[in-house]
């Protein structure tokens, strides 16, 4: 008989067989629990009992349960559905949080207001994240440092062959705050970042679950930063997948890495690039108009695709609203916007 083990405060659960300890079941299902001795002595895998019945097979572990109301996962067999409190546990598919002091390698102006920042993590401490996740840049020092989110614009180096310690950011300096951030980075040799964060990702598991479905990447302005990392990961993991990139900007001069998407298309016949500007302008031979209109011209139905969208909430929700009649829904549209913005605040 299986019993459900729920971990708090994370709030996720696993199934545990009668012949399994909590630690064995967790490892089988991809949950990261720190452990050392595996015989109930070191207490590295301890958790607080919240509810449920337990069978404890090792005398040291029984003593810990009886005296401190704590379970040692390596020597404890659930006898019912149980709930335990354990902070240092990583759910399947999640990455542990890291705070790194990174060297500022370069700050490069790509267009009138978009900067490319390259950070390098310390030796032996390569950043561990999924393509598409973001980091928190610490602006200032100490406990009162402001932490600002920025998409990581490169896929992990293990996928691309680049230096695994390097982190690329694209910062659109179109506000006083953004310009302050750029000046801060230009004046510092080391900055602190905390990563990873965000659930809008590409990895082996996502590609397996979405096998055979075209991937549509939709970027507004510097939202291309996250999309760049997602595309790099896809091309590294499954280069034969059908990919469409729709990158929209206010004018043709705003495409701040103009040659990169064309290089992807040249190298991969299954990669299709669709640059879009809001209104036609002299010398522009590409497409113009609303993103949802351009996408509708290419796809009559969207229930058989997976879409990743990065841009303003108005762009993301507006695209979703306009394309829902064609089969697009929140189940096959992925965006970090969904985690922090309310749809009703950005739609009519």
Q: Are residues 131 and 41 in the same domain?
A: no
- Write the pLDDT tens digit of every residue in 78-112: 999 999 999 878 887 788 889 999 999 999 999 99
Domain encompassing residue 338: 204-345
Q: How many Å apart are CA 215 and CA 237, to the nearest integer?
A: 13
Q: Which of 317, 312, 342 is nearest to 330 (CA)?
A: 317
Q: Are residues 236 and 322 in the same domain?
A: yes
CATH of the domain at 80: 3.10.20.30
Q: What is the pTM of this model?
A: 0.82
Instruction: Evaluate if residue 268 carries a pLDDT over 80.
Output: yes
Kindly report the average pLDDT of the chain as a whole number: 94
Q: How many Å apart are CA 146 and CA 143, to the nearest integer?
A: 9
Q: Are residues 212 and 162 in the same domain?
A: no
Q: What is the number of alpha carbons within 13 Å of residue 152 lying toward its C-beta?
A: 33
Instruction: Evaluate if residue 317 carries a pLDDT over 90.
Output: yes
Domain finish residue from 90, 114, 149 = 90
Question: Which residues lie across from 149 on neighbouring strands?
Answer: 136
Q: Which tokens belong to 105?
A: 């390698």
Q: Are residues 224 and 335 in the same domain?
A: yes
Q: Which tokens belong to 279?
A: 């209104």
Angle, helices 224-237 vs 260-267, to 10°: value is: 20
- Write the pLDDT tens digit of every residue in 290-303: 999 999 999 999 99
Q: Are residues 30 and 80 in the same domain?
A: yes
At residue 232 the predicted structure's pLDDT band, cuts being 50, 70 and 90, is very high
Instruction: Evaluate if residue 312 carries a pLDDT over 90.
Output: yes
pLDDT at res. 345: 86
Q: Are residues 17 and 149 in the same domain?
A: no
Q: Are residues 314 and 297 in the same domain?
A: yes
Q: Are residues 102 and 73 in the same domain?
A: no
Domain finish residue from 27, 59, 90 = 90
Total of domains in the chain: 3
CATH of the domain at 210: 3.40.50.80
Instruction: Evaluate if residue 169 carries a pLDDT over 70.
Output: yes
Domain finish residue from 162, 182, 197 = 197
Instruction: Evaluate if residue 233 carries a pLDDT over 80.
Output: yes
Measured CA to CA in angstroms, residue 287 lies from 217, 276, 277 at distances of 16, 5, 7
- Write the pLDDT tens digit of every residue in 29-72: 888 888 888 788 889 999 999 999 999 999 989 999 999 999 99
Q: Are residues 217 and 176 in the same domain?
A: no
């Amino acid at each position: 008989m299986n019993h459900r083990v729920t971990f708090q405060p994370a709030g996720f659960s696993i199934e545990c067989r009668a012949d399994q300890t909590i630690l064995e079941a967790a490892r089988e299902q991809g949950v990261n629990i720190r452990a050392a001795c595996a015989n109930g002595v070191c207490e590295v895998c301890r958790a607080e009992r919240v509810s449920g019945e337990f069978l404890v097979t090792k005398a040291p572990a029984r003593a810990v349960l009886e005296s401190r109301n704590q379970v040692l996962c390596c020597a404890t067999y659930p006898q019912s559905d149980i709930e335990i409190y354990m902070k240092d546990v990583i759910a399947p598919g999640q990455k542990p949080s890291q705070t790194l002091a990174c060297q500022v390698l370069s700050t490069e102006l790509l267009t009138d207001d978009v900067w490319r920042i390259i950070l390098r993590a310390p030796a032996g401490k390569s950043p561990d994240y999924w393509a598409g996740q973001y980091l928190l840049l610490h602006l200032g020092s100490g406990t009162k440092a402001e932490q600002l989110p920025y998409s990581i614009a490169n896929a992990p180096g293990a996928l691309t062959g680049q230096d695994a310690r390097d982190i690329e950011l694209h910062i659109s300096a179109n506000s006083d705050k953004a310009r302050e951030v750029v000046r801060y980075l230009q004046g510092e040799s080391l900055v602190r970042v905390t990563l990873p964060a965000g659930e809008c990702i590409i990895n082996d598991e996502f590609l397996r679950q979405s096998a055979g479905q075209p991937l549509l990447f939709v970027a507004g302005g510097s939202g291309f930063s996250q999309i760049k990392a997602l595309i790099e990961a896809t091309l590294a993991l499954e280069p034969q997948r059908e990919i469409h990139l729709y990158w929209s900007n206010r004018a043709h001069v705003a495409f701040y890495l103009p040659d990169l998407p064309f290089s992807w298309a040249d190298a991969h016949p299954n990669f299709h690039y669709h640059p879009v500007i809001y209104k036609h302008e002299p010398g522009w031979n590409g497409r113009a108009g609303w993103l949802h209109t351009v996408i509708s011209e290419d796809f009559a139905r969207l229930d058989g695709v997976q879409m990743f969208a990065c841009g303003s909430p108005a762009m993301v929700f507006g695209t979703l609203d306009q394309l829902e009649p064609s089969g697009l829904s929140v189940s096959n549209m992925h965006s970090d916007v969904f985690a922090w913005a309310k749809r009703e605040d950005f739609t009519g």
